Amino acid sequence: MTYTRRLKWDSDFFGYEIGRADIVNVSQFDLEKFKSESSKYKLVYVFSKEKISLEPFALVDEKVVFRKDNIDLLVPQPSGNRIVSFDRGRHDEQQMIDLALESGKYSRFNVDPNFQKNEYSRLYTEWILNSINGKLAFDVIVALANEQILGFTTIAKIDDDLADIGLVAVHPDARGRGVGTELIYTAIERARLANFKSIQVVTQSENIPACSLYRKAEFTVNDITHIYHYWNS
């Protein structure tokens, strides 16, 4: 059994070797074999459905996938704020970057102190810019008030039936005003109009406000994965 494989995009983007390991059965996991395979990487992302209690591994994320099915049967929800698709000619790209960085504060790339080359900021900036330009999303919707962006969400295609809500962000000054709820319901409606049957969103279990938002919108937990980082010095 081979545990690790190289992640080309991550290695190229961050500038050092990164691998991935998926642990199927913790009780049969061979730590020494894993260490031997991982010696060629600076960092290995370790994914497991089970919790791993081994000293070399630092838990950095409990990834929760929320899902909502049968969205093609839903009735559209009214919106009180002005919610439109992002327009590079009219809307402020820097505001989007700032909000994207705010949205990812629970990200493993932010909470793991071993990242020391501005990886988090670079990654989330790349994510939102490639969503805006259509590489990672088919729609980016923003909530506006006097041309100020109160929040946004990105929507991507997983397959012909499943859409994905990627980044979700609400400006700190706009929280508690229902902006996040309106963005999520609008994303669901956009996915429904694009003929998707289901929609999902991924967050961290530590992100209590996000988990509450998705449960409020009647998403249910579809999957939980424990993610660890293994660093070689």
3-state SS, residue 139:
strand
Percent of the chain past pLDDT 90, that is, above it, reads 88
What CATH number does residue 179 fall under? Answer: 3.40.630.30
pLDDT at 227 exceeding the cut of 80: yes
Please say whether the beta carbons of 142 and 86 come within 8 A: yes
Percent of the chain past pLDDT 70, that is, above it, reads 97
Instruction: Indicate whether 20 belongs to any domain.
Output: yes
Instruction: Indicate whether 34 belongs to any domain.
Output: yes
pLDDT at 81 exceeding the cut of 90: no
Instruction: Indicate whether 89 belongs to any domain.
Output: yes
| Mean pLDDT value across the chain | 94
Q: Are residues 93 and 199 in the same domain?
A: yes
pLDDT at position 77: 63
> Rounded distance, CA 97 to CA 212, Å?
24
pLDDT at position 75: 67
Per the DSSP assignment, residues forming a β-bridge with 144 are 82, 149
pLDDT at position 147: 78
pLDDT at position 150: 95
Q: Are residues 117 and 188 in the same domain?
A: yes
Q: Are residues 87 and 150 in the same domain?
A: yes
Q: Are residues 107 and 141 in the same domain?
A: yes
pLDDT, tens digit (0-9, with 9 covering 90-100), for 11-34? 999 999 999 999 999 999 999 999
pLDDT, tens digit (0-9, with 9 covering 90-100), for 124-147? 999 999 999 999 999 999 999 887
Instruction: Indicate whether 115 belongs to any domain.
Output: yes
Please say whether the beta carbons of 198 and 66 come within 8 A: no
Instruction: Indicate whether 229 belongs to any domain.
Output: no
Query: Would you state the structure tokens that stand for residue 138, as one six-digit string?
Result: 């088919």
Q: What are phi and psi of 67, to 5 degrees?
A: -140, 145
Chain-centroid distance, C-alpha 66: 11
**Which secondary-structure segment (H or E) carries 90?**
none
Give this prediction's pTM. 0.92
Q: Are residues 187 and 98 in the same domain?
A: yes
If pLDDT is split at 50, 70 and 90, which confidence band does 214 have?
Answer: very high
Please say whether the beta carbons of 183 and 168 come within 8 A: yes
Instruction: Indicate whether 230 belongs to any domain.
Output: no
Domain interval for residue 21: 4-56
Q: Are residues 189 and 124 in the same domain?
A: yes
Q: Are residues 136 and 172 in the same domain?
A: yes
Instruction: Indicate whether 231 belongs to any domain.
Output: no
pLDDT at position 80: 61
Q: Are residues 81 and 170 in the same domain?
A: yes
Instruction: Indicate whether 175 belongs to any domain.
Output: yes
Going from the C-alpha of 48 to that of each of 56, 95, 120, 145, 158, the distances in angstroms are 15, 36, 22, 42, 22
Q: Are residues 171 and 107 in the same domain?
A: yes
pLDDT, tens digit (0-9, with 9 covering 90-100), for 35-79? 999 999 999 999 999 999 988 899 999 999 999 999 988 766 655
